[in-house]
Amino acid sequence: MANEDSYNWTHKDLLDTKELSQEDLQHLLDLAAQFQVINKRPVKKVPTLKGKTVILFFVEDSTRTKTSFDVAAKRLSADTFALGRSGSSLNKGESLKDTGLTLQAMNPDVIVIRHSSSGAAEYLAKLLPASIVNGGDGWHAHPTQALLDTFSLRQAWSNNFFGKTLLILGDIAHSRVARSNIQLLRKLGVNIRLCAPRTLLPAGVEHWPVEVYPELASAVRDVDAVMCLRLQLERQQAGLLPDLSEYSRRFCLDQKHLGLAAPDVRVLHPGPMNRGLEIASSVADSPHCLVLDQVAAGVAVRMAVLFLLTQCREGRKNAPD
């Protein structure tokens, strides 16, 4: 448990996993564990953020991230307002700057933004006094997804990360989830393997702190966890993947390949899953799969993030009982 007396969260915003120290990370995950206890009670609401306002500004589609930020804020008694591209003046050509300034004029405490452009969250963070949380920006970063993945693995691995091996499988080139997870899990001493067709590996991957495997059978051998990634067809140029059935034959995580991993291997997927394309249905429904634990962890982790960004700026340090 982080030392409550000496610890101080100093970040106005959460834009990236890079900015988190080991101490921030441990404190945030410990806090999320406390919120998870609250989430399992019959009455799940605490008054901690009463009077605070959280705006969910999601310019890209989302099921899990948007809903869980909304649930997280409401469980802490904050008021939430959602704004998307459709139904907003972005559709009438309003700039991100003007939309941001308009939202700020309503004096929110936190704005969670999801945007297709890398750097959109950082742009708002520099422009606005509200705390900005990056809910996913282009290919760049998705810090709360990496935090909830880490939280799920921490539970599965009883907080022993060092020397464990995680395979990230699939469309890594277009994945903000992969980038944020690699940064965070390397800090905890997890070895990372990547496996993808050459066209779905990021440029410059040879400089990343990972091992790259072209074949799934060798990549999955003895790993402690596999993170399957969705093919980000909406971000791909034509021609990167000429044949989806060939892709699934070579890179879909099925029972046969999972049998090559460590016996108690865990399977993660940020969702939404394409069953039969990157993950076999039988694997998605198997006891190895943590997908629904990840969703539950998402609420607790986002409660911790909202708490730290608001209450700790005002000098409160402890989660409510």
Residues that bind ligand NCD (CB under 6 A): 64-65, 136, 142, 145, 176-177, 230, 232, 270-271
How far apart are CB 65 and ligand NCD at their closest, in Å?
A: 4
How far apart are CB 148 and ligand NCD at their closest, in Å?
A: 9
Beta 110-115 vs 191-195: how paired, if at all? unpaired
Nearer to ligand NCD, 104 or 232 (CB): 232
Q: Residue 297: how many CB atoms within 10 A of its CB? A: 26
Residue nearest to ligand NCD (CB): 230
How far apart are CB 142 and ligand NCD at their closest, in Å?
A: 5
Q: What is the C-alpha separation between 134 and 143, in angstroms, rounded?
A: 7
Q: What is the separation of C-alpha 24 from the centre of its chain, rounded to a whole number of angstroms?
A: 16
How far apart are CB 8 and ligand NCD at their closest, in Å?
A: 29
Nearer to ligand NCD, 52 or 114 (CB): 114
Q: How many residues can be counted in the chain? A: 321
Exposure letters 180-214 (e unless 16+ CB within 10 A, then b): bbbbbbbbbebbbbbbbbeebbbeeeeebebebbe
How far apart are CB 77 and ligand NCD at their closest, in Å?
A: 25
Residue 235's identity, in one-letter code, is R
CB 66 within 8 A of CB 58: yes
Nearer to ligand NCD, 108 or 136 (CB): 136
Nearer to ligand NCD, 27 or 230 (CB): 230
Q: What is the C-alpha separation between 188 and 65, in angstroms, rounded?
A: 24
Nearer to ligand NCD, 46 or 227 (CB): 227
- Phi/psi region, residue 76 (left: phi>0; alpha: psi -120 to 50; beta: rest), is alpha
How far apart are CB 162 and ligand NCD at their closest, in Å?
A: 27
Nearer to ligand NCD, 69 or 307 (CB): 69
